[in-house]
């Protein structure tokens, strides 16, 4: 079989496509080495695009993220950062696709705009940076909102919820390179799932999706395919979910923050079980819930 001469993958460009940086997945040619033998082929990889969040004409932050579900990201970021208190505070939202990135242009009420001017930051954040540009230690470790009591969940429900994520990750099924944040409830299963190259972005997108659909979070769980740092706990608290479950381990500060916020933090969730780091009373054996139902 005749094989064309290999060109180093680093010197090749993505396959021609209009608006390439505005689609979430790209096909990239690369060289493949297996058992000392080289071959060629294309791999689907996620796109990474500058996303500028602007309020009333001024840039607040520039994040790197996946160009998908951007209205959800804009609203969720604004809520999680404390810029707005409700989705209704955003008077208008426009996604503007530029040659070198995407602007998420929001217009807020005058009182919200005045508050932003006091804490405006012009940053170029790395992928999914959770606290980029914060200029004080106190702001970085600010107390999270205290969540409502919510309800209890069985180990079987928690494992079922986590196992439901993978088949719904459309981008990750193609690329194996993005994070997901999802919301699960006993009645509806996975109600919303959002993906991004940045784990913080994925959670912001989920927050925006829930807010825009007017979905209350007190009766379900936030599910993460990433590790749990303090910002992830703060964002989950802003969403109002009493339980968060992650596949990887938490940081010590994340555990302390979850404890203070009243959040049940479950991590290292695998097919054979999980570990509960705070407020374990929301996790109950099946027989206990059955006895409670009978009573």
Each residue's pLDDT tens digit, 117-143: 666 644 456 666 665 555 555 665 677
More confident residue, 278 or 16: 278
Active site residue: 84, 104, 129, 265, which one? 129
Tell me how far apart the alpha carbons of residues 141 and 143 are, in angstroms, rounded to a whole number.
6
pLDDT at 291 over 90: no
Phi, psi of 255 (to 5 degrees): -65, -45
pLDDT tier, 110 (very low <50, low <70, confident <90, very high otherwise): confident
Report pLDDT for 14.
Answer: 41
Active site residue 132: no
pLDDT at 2 over 70: no
Q: How many CB atoms lie within 10 A of CB 184?
A: 25
pLDDT tens by residue, 34-83: 898 989 999 999 999 999 999 999 989 999 999 999 999 999 999 998 89
pLDDT tens by residue, 214-237: 999 999 999 999 999 999 999 999
Which segment of 11-15, 155-159, 163-167, 260-264 scores lowest on mean pLDDT? 11-15
Q: What is the mean pLDDT of the chain?
A: 86
Strands (E), 9-87: 25-34, 37-46, 49-55, 58-65
pLDDT at 289 over 60: no
pLDDT at 286 over 80: no
pLDDT tier, 85 (very low <50, low <70, confident <90, very high otherwise): very high
Cα–Cα distances in angstroms (integers) from residue 139 to residues 78, 97, 110, 250, in the given order: 16, 32, 24, 20
Report pLDDT for 36.
Answer: 87
Helices (H), 185-283: 199-212, 230-239, 252-261
More confident residue, 32 or 69: 69
Report pLDDT for 293.
Answer: 47
Which tokens in the block code for residue 144?
């999270």
């Amino acid at each position: 079989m005749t094989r064309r001469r290999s060109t180093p993958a680093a010197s090749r460009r993505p396959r021609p496509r209009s608006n390439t940086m505005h689609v979430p997945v790209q096909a990239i040619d690369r060289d493949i080495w297996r058992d000392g033998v080289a071959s060629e082929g294309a791999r689907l990889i996620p796109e990474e695009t500058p996303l500028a969040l602007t309020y009333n004409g001024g840039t607040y932050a520039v994040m790197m993220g996946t160009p998908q579900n951007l209205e959800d990201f804009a609203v969720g970021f604004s809520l999680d950062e404390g810029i707005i208190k409700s989705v209704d505070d955003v008077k208008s939202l426009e996604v503007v696709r530029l040659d070198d990135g995407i602007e998420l242009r929001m217009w807020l009420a005058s009182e919200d705009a005045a508050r932003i001017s006091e804490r405006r930051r012009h940053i170029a954040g790395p992928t999914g940076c959770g606290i980029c540009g914060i200029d004080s230690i106190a702001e970085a470790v600010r107390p999270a909102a205290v969540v409502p009591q919510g309800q209890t969940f069985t180990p079987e429900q928690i494992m079922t919820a986590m196992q439901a994520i993978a088949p719904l990750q459309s981008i990750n099924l193609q690329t194996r390179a993005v994070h997901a944040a999802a919301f699960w409830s006993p009645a509806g299963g996975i109600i919303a799932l959002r993906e991004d190259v940045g784990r913080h972005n994925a959670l912001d997108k989920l927050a925006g999706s829930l807010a825009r659909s007017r979905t209350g979070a007190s009766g379900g769980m936030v599910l993460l395919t990433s590790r749990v740092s303090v910002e992830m706990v703060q964002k989950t608290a802003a969403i109002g979910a009493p339980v968060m479950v992650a596949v990887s381990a938490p940081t010590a500060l994340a555990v302390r923050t979850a404890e203070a916020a009243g959040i049940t933090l479950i991590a290292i969730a695998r097919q054979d079980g999980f570990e509960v780091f705070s407020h374990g009373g929301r996790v109950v054996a099946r027989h206990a819930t059955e006895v409670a139902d009978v009573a």
